[in-house]
Amino acid sequence: MTVQSSLPRPDAPLRIGTRGSPLALAQAGETRRRLMAAHGLGEDCFAIRPIRTTGDRVQDRSLSEIGGKGLFTKELETALLDGEIDIAVHSMKDVATRPPEGLSIATMLPRADIRDAFISPRHAGLDALPEGAVFGTSSLRRRAQLLARRPDLRMVEFRGNVQTRLAKLERGVAEATLLACAGLARLGQGGLGVPIPVDELLPAPAQGAIGIQHRSGDPLAGLIAPLDHPPTRACVTVERAFLAALDGSCRTPIAALAEMEGKEIRFRGEILRPDGSERLARAWQGPAGQAAEAAYRLGEDLKAEAGEGFLD
């Protein structure tokens, strides 16, 4: 099924591109279920096509070593541009702030829990970890935030999908880790771990949000439009504006959260030195229509205040 305006059929199914991890497949499955409900179609009208990305393929190095944003999206975007798939389902926190020409994301599903969950087989929470405990994470943002609170912790690289990381905990590779509550819930493990309030640990920009990408100008945009959740899209757009001002990638410890409060948006953003030794933060609240521009300015202000080398 290439560009077309008619509904997908069993003999011409809509091809949904996704990473092949269990979480990514669960997100693609959620997208398929919502499309089925929106258009009264059967499951055989949609075909999920797993595509292996660089981030999935290279597991022996940290994300910061192998590149910035796009590690989990580039191959999907190439397949979309080449017509091998019709739409791509992404975790929005993985999507570059400047997408390839010819592709658009105008549809986002309702956002799930934005928080991180503390997970450990032996300890009840971050403050319960013993002095010098080994903590596993592949996120520079989480690493910096944790070291800002607990500089005694010893950090180890913790790549892999959710199941892989949980297995590493059981083997004692680390005493504890953090996983996104949204991902755990989508895998049916929402009760696992202890959620950390955002006032204590601000999430990654766009955490918990799923975006559906399509070719610009493709009539298929109308097919996926009913799935869009405007409040999610508004808040994620604000967080990504902050990220864009900072040139954020997997190599930079950046956190941000926009929350809809009536007709206003409350925004909080922060950057940290990778070793957690310094944190710079900004906040803003005002009309939703002005929030993305305000967040971008805050990002520029923080970048100027931090100066050269802060994020290195």
Q: Is 247 annotated as catalytic?
A: no
Of 94, 113, 116, 218, the catalytic one is 94
The string of DSSP letters for the chain reads --S-SSPPBTTB-EEEEE-SSHHHHHHHHHHHHHHHHHHT--GGGEEEEE---HHHH--SS-HHHH-STTTTTHHHHHHHHTTS-SEEEEEGGGS-SSPPTTEEEEEEPPP----EEEE-SS-SSGGGSPTT-EEE-S-HHHHHHHHHH-TT-EEE---S-HHHHHHHHHTTS-SEEEEEHHHHHHTT-TTSSEEEPTTTSPPPTTTT-EEEEEETT-THHHHHGGG--HHHHHHHHHHHHHHHHTT--TTS-EEEEEEEETTEEEEEEEEE-TTSS-EEEEEEEEEHHHHHHHHHHHHHHHHHHH-TTTT-
Residue numbers annotated as active site: 94
